[in-house]
Chains A and B, each alone.
Chain A
Amino acid sequence: AQSVTQPDIHITVSEGASLELRCNYSYGATPYLFWYVQSPGQGLQLLLKYFSGDTLVQGIKGFEAEFKRSQSSFNLRKPSVHWSDAAEYFCAVGAGSNTGKLIFGQGTTLQVKP
Chain B
Amino acid sequence: GAGVSQSPSNKVTEKGKDVELRCDPISGHTALYWYRQSLGQGLEFLIYFQGNSAPDKSGLPSDRFSAERTGGSVSTLTIQRTQQEDSAVYLCASSPGLVNTDTQYFGPGTRLTVL
Interface residues, chain A, CB within 8 Å of chain B? 32, 36, 41-46, 49, 51, 90, 92, 94-107
Contact = CB atoms under 8 A, between A and B. Distances in A.
A49 B103 CA distance: 8
Q: Which residue, A41, A95, A98, has most C-beta atoms of chain B within 10 A?
A: A95
Contacts of A49: 101, 103
Interface string B42-53: 111100101000
Interface of B: 3-4, 31, 33, 35, 42-45, 48, 50, 56, 59, 91, 93, 95, 97, 100-109
A100 B100 contact: yes
Contacts of B48: 99-101
Chain B interface, >50% SS class: strand
A94 B101 contact: yes
Contact of A105 (B42, B45, B56): B42
B45 A90 contact: no
A45 to B, nearest CB: 7
B45 A43 contact: no
Nearest to A96: B100
Ordered nearest first, which 5 A-B pairs have the shortest CB separation?
A104-B43, A44-B106, A43-B106, A106-B42, A51-B101
Nearest to A50: B101
B107 A43 contact: yes
B45 A101 contact: yes
Contacts of A106: 42
Nearest to B34: A101
B55 to A, nearest CB: 11
A107 B107 CA distance: 18
Contacts of A103: 45
A106 B59 CA distance: 17
B100 A94 contact: yes
Given A45-B106, A100-B104, A107 B43 contact: yes
Contact of B108 (A36, A43, A97, A105): A43
A96 B97 CA distance: 14
Nearest to A97: B100
Given A44-B106, A49-B103, 19 more contacts: A32-B100, A43-B106, A43-B109, A49-B101, A51-B101, A94-B100, A96-B100, A99-B56, A100-B31, A100-B50, A100-B97, A100-B100, A100-B102, A101-B33, A101-B59, A102-B35, A104-B35, A104-B43, A107-B43
